[in-house]
Amino acid sequence: MADRKNLAARAFAALIAGRERQARLYVERFERSYGRANSTLTKR
């Protein structure tokens, strides 16, 4: 019973997980639009 988190801790963890998921989707969309960071921007 001591391992169970209280409501505030669970809500905070859910909030952080949602933000991580949102950031991951944003990065994936950015990479699809503009390519990966390893690729060159100008082909000189």
10 belongs to a structural domain: yes
pLDDT (tens digit per residue) in 1-44? 455 779 999 999 999 999 999 999 999 998 888 876 665 556 55
Write out the residue range of the structural domain in which residue 24 sits.
Answer: 1-34
7 belongs to a structural domain: yes
Do residues 30 and 22 make contact, with C-beta atoms less than 8 angstroms apart?
no
Quote the number of domains for the chain: 1
39 belongs to a structural domain: no
What is residue 11's predicted lDDT score, i.e. its pLDDT?
Answer: 93
Q: What gap in Å lies between CA 34 and CA 44, rounded to an integer?
A: 18
43 belongs to a structural domain: no
With 0.85 as the threshold, say if the pTM is over it. Answer: no
